[in-house]
Amino acid sequence: MTELNRLTITEARDLLRKREISARELTRACLEQIKLVDPKLNAFITVCAREAHEQADAADARLAAGDAPALCGIPLAIKDIYATRGVRTTCASRILENFVPPYDATVIAKLRANGAVFVGKANMDEFAMGSSTENSAFGPTRNPHNVERVAGGSSGGSAAAVAADECLGSLGTDTGGSIREPASFCGVVGIKPTYSRVSRYGVIAYASSLDQVGPFAKTVRDAAIILRDLAGADPRDSTCSARPVPDYEAALTGDVKGLRVGVPKEFFVSGIEPEVEQAVRAALKSYEAMGARMVEISLPHTSYAVAAYYIVATAEASANLARYDGIRYGLRVDGDNNIELYNRTRARGFGAEVKRRIMLGSFVLSAGYYDAYYLKGQKVRTLIRRDFERAFESCDIIATPVAPTTAFALGEKVSDPLQMYLSDIFTISVNLAGLPGISVPCGFDPQGLPIGLQLIGPPFGEEAILRAGDAFERTGAVKRRAAIL
């Protein structure tokens, strides 16, 4: 049998239900892998070995009683941005270094109810602000395919943990590409659902109109299984949709005959690495061979997406992060008065990138600049959403690269924020429009670094992009490679 930690969720689910393996054995295999490889990767901020074993034993009892939800006994990693009852939740920031929530985020409560096992809290860019997981107060996460390269961000720890077989799946969040980009860089599947498809209650906020919860997994089917358990209405999140949740796994028929695949000309431009374009275009040819039809489309406001995003997102961040004042919870650095307490706490608690984004956001919201920047950014956001609405009149899904490059070297872009921000040029517009998007591995560059194909759907079009991703996966054109550690 394959080493247990290398199983997919689908494989492990079947073996657990047949009682051929136990949840404790599966969990132990993942924890041993973490102990073996994580000193090189730094994918985890907190490893929850004791809690994981307790959850595994409870899952085994449920399995023995014939109570077997799909994720019962499955070891998962949780991005350290989710409130997790009784477990340190840092958001990769010194300002929350010792924060232990007394409650669970809605999606954490759902996973607990379904018997999932949490092996640990995964590393990330501080407050989800970054594209490389180099902004973490606990050190960078490294790419399992080449430890001198980044894992992507901001959910780099969650992606790297799945790629390195430290868990069978994981949770991330995506504000401007923070699931899809690390999935592409690490060679795993990552899906950002439609805004409002999954509750954000208990997710530490970065930009509330953009943040979305989603899973990482080794296969599209595994991602569909996790998403089905995450999605659904939540009265504690007023933005969460009450639309019924379909059976995403049942949508994976393998049939894409007649599917209209939009190919936007704005996403194949100078600056994209030749190997990335070749891999994506080869994937498009695979779809044609399966009976899908390519349709050239235009998304004319794409070039404005990065600028609009860094106005809207930083404005919301400056408001959301005002709550970290050293008084109610988190780090407190005393001063002679309240102003000094605020200044000292925030100066010591926040990292450089978080400070940069708070200052940018405070500026664009300030008197005299609101109309010139924030209001204009919101208008551009509307234009980008309308571009997609027009595009979906002539196609069913849209296919693009996830990122213009494969994983770049650690330290390569840290001193050049603009170049770092441009890493998300192909993903940001999807968040601005609130659409679902998935990254599916579609190849490797000559250095063995993974390349991701992005599939974008209309609102609540998760079934379409999951079906298309699964159909490509079934061609066998790209074989999953074990991480090189």
Among 154, 184, 199, 423, which one carries the catalytic annotation? 154
Closest CA to 226 of 274, 279, 170: 170
Closest CA to 115 of 166, 79, 157, 65: 65
* Annotation marks residue 79 as catalytic: yes
Alpha carbons 298 and 301: distance in angstroms, whole number: 9
* 332 CB burial (10 A radius; 0-12, 13-18, 19+): middle
Which three-class secondary structure string do you get for 104-122? CCHHHHHHHHCCCEEEEEE
Amino acid residing at 131: S
Among 22, 79, 192, 286, which one carries the catalytic annotation? 79
How long is the chain? Answer: 485
**CB environment 152-180: b (16+ within 10 A), e (fewer):** bbbbbbbbbbbbbbbbbbbbbbbbbbbbb
* Annotation marks residue 35 as catalytic: no
The backbone torsions φ and ψ at residue 142, rounded to the nearest 5 degrees and listed phi first, read -105, 155
CA angle centred on 220, ends 215 and 224, rounded to 5°: 55
Alpha carbons 388 and 194: distance in angstroms, whole number: 13
Among 93, 158, 170, 178, which one carries the catalytic annotation? 178
* Annotation marks residue 154 as catalytic: yes
CA angle centred on 277, ends 274 and 283, rounded to 5°: 140
Quick check: 26 and 4 in contact, CB under 8 A? yes
Supply the residues annotated as catalytic: 79, 154, 178
